[in-house]
Amino acid sequence: MSSPPHRLELRGITKRFPGCLANDQVDLVLRPGEIHALLGENGAGKSTLVKIIYGVLHADAGQIRWNGHDTHIPDPAGARRLGIGMVFQHFSLFDTLTVAENISLGLDQPGPMDALSARIAEVSERYGLSLDPRRHVHNLSVGERQRVEIVRCLLQDPKLLIMDEPTSVLTPQEATRLFETLRRLAAEGCTILYISHKLEEIRALCDTATVLRGGRVVGSCDPRKETARSLAEMMIGTELSTPERLPQGEAGAAKLQVRHLSTTSDNPFATNLKDVSFEVRAGEILGIAGVAGNGQAELMAALSGEALVPDPASVAIEGRPAGHLGPRERRLLGLAFVPEERLGRGAVPELSLSENALLSGYAREPLVRSGLVHFGRARSYAERIIGAFNVVTHGHRAEARSLSGGNLQKFIIGREILQKPRLLVVGQPTWGVDAGAAAAIHRALIDLARSGAAVLVISQDLDELFVLSDRIAVLFHGHLSESRPTHHTSVEEIGLLMGGLFNHPPDEDEVDRAV
């Protein structure tokens, strides 16, 4: 028995928060050079556990052994000194600082800024995570922000790398490249603790998986010997009902028509839309794929009415020119809208659920009477959403921010769907949402389309688009590809389009830059 000591060994880790036991006697063993998946639904205690490992939280009870020695991890700096790096799910980035400054803050000995910028450029080049160290983070897309986090960790030369949902915003090709990087790191002896909701990805990448449910370890397995379905069922503890793809009915009249939409922005880092045209018909779901930062934010803003477009006719809702209308007028025309950012845009974090229900519901549900809020109706509307969409919360008085990501997203989508919109535009419907909630959201979107509404889904998750959409188009550098019927295309083909390989290349130089 002369096997090398375990890289990290947790024994009986228990952490209690007021009102909930987040971790209950958790044991976990990580070996050098293994890629270990940590599975569980939102609220299963994964985040708490990794925060304990990274020294952000302290366990109430239990032991931590690092390379065979009992240890205490007082704070993240202590974790970094041991050689533990972490990519956070909710990015720990500072919007008004540059990429280089952000990375410098995560290092203990960053050295002079110029040298650091050079190292950032080198590492991001080597791992295919292109980044400009001088840019400000608030101008970066979600995907680019994640790259900052990953590069920050790689610069620390870690012995244990914790990755919380790292691929949610990457193209399949980029994810493949990241996996190569992770496998190379693992081969060099680095241990990787990998949290993801994408079970196929875990099957492809990980050597071992530990499953958490309700704060306890409920099993461990070799994910390569399991199916995605069996893994999901282990996580949720019951059988999984996946939404079934009903054959699409007759597509009806066009509910949303976008004609030659181009945008210009004052923000030098925005991606302007260039001559984007498409339409969404009653009864169908159109999916728009693309890597973050290729114009999704601009398209969402142009559709929701947050940004007005110069030519009113370039956006038509139910055949009526709407480009000059604000969000409220567009809602009155029949548009419902679910933005990508749940907290702050989809819902006000500090307000209760019934107040949040009121925010977009007041136009079509009779929640306001002669200028005064009808609180009774707002409450019952919120309760209807909570009931119909199985939102786990302690009631309509709960603050929006107290809900887990999946439950809040179910609430926001429910709020829009219960208004019976004729047109629904959704951005990233299941970003950071667990498998059970994602299935419920997918089911609701499909049901809405089958009931005759037009649905537009803008997402970076290709698996999701293939589950949901009848047709898929790809956004790249502000250009939109032709749409293809989902059953006539493949993940590989869409992946190539996401890298800019359109059949009719817009500009050669842009393709060059993308590759």
Partner 1 sequence: MSAELALLGPILAAMLAAATPLLFAALGELVVEKSGVLNLGVEGMMLVGAVCGFAVAVQTGSSTAGFVAGAAAGAGMAALFGVLTLLLLANQVATGLALTLFGVGLSALIGQGFVGIPIADVPELYIPGLTDLPVIGKALFGQDALVYLALAAVPAVHWFLYATRKGLILRAVGENHAAAHALGYKVIRIRFLAVLFGGAMSGMAGAYLSLDYTPMWAEGISAGRGWIALALVVFATWKPGRVLLGAWLFGGVTIAQLHVQGLGIDIPSQLLSMLPYLATVIVLVVISRDVARIRLNAPASLGKVFHPDA
Which residues, 130 to 169, sit near partner 1 by CB under 8 A? Answer: 136, 138
Measured from the CB of residue 56, what is the shortest distance to partner 1 in angstroms?
Answer: 6
Which residues, 43 to 102, sit near partner 1 by CB under 8 A? Answer: 55-56, 75-78, 80, 88, 91-97, 101
Query: Which of 399/493 has CB closer to partner 1?
Result: 399
Query: Which of 80/330 has CB closer to partner 1?
Result: 80
Report whether 442 contacts 464 (CB < 8 A).
Answer: yes
Distance CA 97, CA 103 (A): 10
Which residues, 220 to 239, sit near partner 1 by CB under 8 A? Answer: none
In sequence order, what are the residues at sequence separation of 6 or more whose Cβ sits closer than 8 angstroms to the Cβ of residue 27? 10, 11, 12, 13, 217
Amino acid at 82: L
Measured from the CB of residue 15, what is the shortest distance to partner 1 in angstroms?
Answer: 11
Measured from the CB of residue 398, what is the shortest distance to partner 1 in angstroms?
Answer: 16
Give CA 16 to chain center in angstroms.
27
Q: How would you class 128 by CB atoms within 10 Å of its CB: exposed for 0-12, middle for 13-18, buried for 19 or more?
A: middle
Q: What are phi and psi of 329, to 5 degrees?
A: -65, -40
Examine residue 405 and tell whether it contacts partner 1 (CB under 8 A).
Answer: no
Query: Which of 101/329 has CB closer to partner 1?
Result: 101
Measured from the CB of residue 353, what is the shortest distance to partner 1 in angstroms?
Answer: 20
Give CA 138 to chain center in angstroms.
17
Q: How many Å from the N-terminal Cα to the C-terminal Cα in the chain?
A: 49
Distance CA 325, CA 137 (A): 31
Measured from the CB of residue 349, what is the shortest distance to partner 1 in angstroms?
Answer: 12
Q: How many residues bind partner 1 (CB under 8 A)?
A: 24
Question: Which listed residue (104, 296, 409, 428) binds partner 1 by CB under 8 A?
Answer: 104
Report whether 422 contacts 453 (CB < 8 A).
Answer: yes
Query: Which of 95/492 has CB closer to partner 1?
Result: 95
Measured from the CB of residue 88, what is the shortest distance to partner 1 in angstroms?
Answer: 7
Measured from the CB of residue 359, what is the shortest distance to partner 1 in angstroms?
Answer: 22
Which residues, 255 to 284, sit near partner 1 by CB under 8 A? Answer: 266-267
Query: Which of 344/485 has CB closer to partner 1?
Result: 344
Q: Among the residues of 54-171, which ranges form H helices?
A: 76-82, 99-105, 113-126, 142-154
Measured from the CB of residue 350, what is the shortest distance to partner 1 in angstroms?
Answer: 11
Query: Which of 56/496 has CB closer to partner 1?
Result: 56
Q: What is the CA radius of gyration of the chain?
A: 23
Distance CA 450, CA 456 (A): 13
Binding site for partner 1 (CB under 8 A): 55-56, 75-78, 80, 88, 91-97, 101, 104-106, 110, 136, 138, 266-267
